[in-house]
Amino acid sequence: MQTNRTLPARMLPNRSRTSVLVFLLPPLLLYGAAVLFPILQSLFLSFFSWNGISEMEFVGLDNYVRMFIADDIFWRAFLNALAYLAICLVLQLGGALVVASLLTSLTRGRELIKTLYLLPAVISTVAIAFLFVRIYSIEPVGLLNQLLHWIGLGSLERPWLSDVNTVLAAVSAPEGWRFTGLYMLIIYAALIAVPKDLEEAAVLDGAGRWTLFAKIRFPYIRPVWITTTIMATTYGLRGFDIPYLMTNGGPGQSSELLTTYMYKTAFTSTDFGYASTISVFIVIECLAAVGLILFLLKRKADA
C-alpha cells in the first residue's frame, strides 16, 4: 500500500476514464446487486422487530441493546467463534505453510501429493460431519478413542462431541483440516515463484533452512500470505456447516458460534430483526479482524 499512499497505483501511463469504467462497472454491478444491496437491507432490518409474516415494527436500537446487555448466549457464541477461529487458523495456515515448504524440497510426486492433499475439500460437508461424528464417538467406540487406547492414553478416552470441554476443539478440527490443502496450494504456488537465484545466493552464503525460509522465502511470499490469512480468517469467522451439522451448537451452547446462533435466530426463532443485528456485528467483527491482520503483518513488513 505504500506506493498507493503517495500516488494512485497507476501502472498504465495513458488510460482514459472510460476504460476504468468499462472494467469496473460490470463487476460492481453484480456485486452491488448480489451482495451490497442485501447487506443494506439487513442493516435496515436490524432496527426492526419482524418475524417474516407480521407487520414490521420499528424498535430503534433495542436489538443492539439486547445483544450487548441482555443476551448471554451471544457473548458465549462470540468467545466460541474466536476459539474456533484460532484452531482453524493454526491448522490451515500453519499446516499449509509446513506442507508447502516440505513439498518444495520433494523431487518426485509433488503433483500427486498436491491432488491427494486437496481431497477433503471436495467432499460435501454432510459426509465429513457424519464421518467425524463416528471418529469421535465412544459408544460404539470410534477411531480416535481406539487410537488413544492403543497408544496407552486410555485415560483420555471420552465422548469428544458431548464433553463440554472438548467439543469446540472437536468441531473446529474438521473445518481446519478440510481446507488445509487449499491454502497449501496457494502458498505453494507463491513459494515456487521465489526466484531461484535469490535462494541460491543465500545458500552460497551459508544460510540454513530456517534462515532461508525466514529471510528469503517468507518475505517474498508475504503478499500472498496476507491474502491467505485474510481468506482463512474470514472463512473461519463465517464457519457454519460443520458445527451446525455435527452438534448444532451443543451440548448446551458449548459449540455455538455467532453464525449458527444467527442462523437459528433467523430461521428457528423467526426473529429476522435480531438475526440481522447479530450479522451486522459479525460484519464489524470481520472488518476489525482484517484490519488487525493488515496492521500486524504490514508493520512487520515495514520493520
Closest distance of CB 151 from other proteins, Å:
14
Nearer to other proteins, 29 or 153 (CB): 29
Residues counted in the chain: 303
Closest distance of CB 1 from other proteins, Å:
6
Stretch that binds other proteins, among 86-94, 148-156, 219-227 (CB under 8 A): 219-227
Judged by CB under 8 A, does residue 293 bind other proteins?
no
Judged by CB under 8 A, does residue 54 bind other proteins?
yes
Chain positions 165 to 184 lying near other proteins, rule: CB under 8 A, are: 177, 180-182
Task: Select the residue interacting with other proteins from 42, 64, 89, 293 (CB under 8 A).
Answer: 42
Judged by CB under 8 A, does residue 151 bind other proteins?
no
Chain positions 105 to 144 lying near other proteins, rule: CB under 8 A, are: 105-106, 111, 113-128, 130-131, 133-134, 136-140, 142-143
Task: Select the residue interacting with other proteins from 61, 94, 252, 295 (CB under 8 A).
Answer: 252
Contacts of 214 (CB under 8 A, 6+ apart): none
Distance between CA 152 and CA 172 in Å, rounded?
A: 25
3 state DSSP class of 11 = coil
Cα first-last separation, the chain: 15
Cell of 114: 498436491
* Amino acid at site 25: L
Judged by CB under 8 A, does residue 161 bind other proteins?
yes
Judged by CB under 8 A, does residue 250 bind other proteins?
yes
Number of other residues whose CB lies within 10 A of the CB of residue 243? 27
What phi, psi does 164 have (nearest 5°)?
-60, -20
Assess contact for 74 and 80: CB atoms under 8 A. no
